[in-house]
Structure 1
């Protein structure tokens, strides 16, 4: 991700889908340095974003997260971002893949479960009430 406009679009989608943990533009810039971030468009209109966190040197799983704005769900954008993220994780040497979904994102959770992920952990960030769910690809 090489332009501020793309980072702003990624930030917009992230903050809409994860309102409990909004990121600043500086946060996004920091993530660009350690993760693979992408945005998806329907023509010129922003539809979603994705994150691929590479596996660490200790052999942990790569994390693949696809976020789709509500108006663009069930149109193939999530599937496309997920497939690209999964391929990227494998290219980065991942032997396992996880995803993380805010529990209130019922559609995102259903998508992950339909794609073979199983829940492995729930946690709540300090000061929050809605848990994040970590799922691993079975």
Structure 2
């Protein structure tokens, strides 16, 4: 894992890489390039590479002015799971959330991703809610760090 490189999204190539991972992991809520560009403006988006190979991405939604709750999401492409990449993305995102003033950290996992759910639960997240967005067929699971 010494060749793992995690970088903040900067430029169209990285936006496309982040979009690719997001849409592969969350196909029921695929994002356009314009939607990703908008997210870059309000969230901290990062991509992870092993050498030159794209392995994952992350999102940190900063705390809002009303609450000190941040959302940290780590996504790893299936071929690269169980190698520590998700843990590295998560730890980095958690540190960023704390730096931004979060007292509470949440995450969200697609119900059809049991590996992602286990990943979150082994790191101390507990389920808060399951919900279905309009037009979707797979529920999202919101979890909070206990």
Give TM-score scaled by structure 2 length. Answer: 0.93
Structure 1: state its 5+ residue gaps: none
The number of aligned residues is 138
Question: Which runs of at least 4 in structure 1 moved beyond 4 Å after TM superposition?
Answer: none
The residue number in structure 1 matching 2:122 is 114
Say which SS state the counterpart of residue 65 (structure 2) adopts: coil
Q: Which of 110, 113, 132 matches 1:105?
A: 113
Q: Which of 66, 83, 91 matches 1:58?
A: 66
Please list, as runs of the form range in 1=range in 2, the aligned pairs for 1:1-16 lying within 5 A after superposition.
1-16=9-24
1:137 aligns with 2:145: yes
CA RMSD between the two structures? 0.6
Say which SS state the counterpart of residue 55 (structure 2) adopts: strand
Q: Matched residues in 2 for 1:27 and 1:57: separation?
A: 23
Give TM-score scaled by structure 1 length. Answer: 0.99
The residue number in structure 1 matching 2:90 is 82
The residue number in structure 2 matching 1:71 is 79
Deviations 1:62-87 (CA, angstroms, capped at 9, x unpaired): 00000000010000100000000000
1:31 aligns with 2:39: yes
1:124 aligns with 2:135: no
Shift of 1:129: 1.5
Q: Matched residues in 1 for 2:136 and 2:39: separation?
A: 22
Structure 2: state its 5+ residue gaps: 1-8
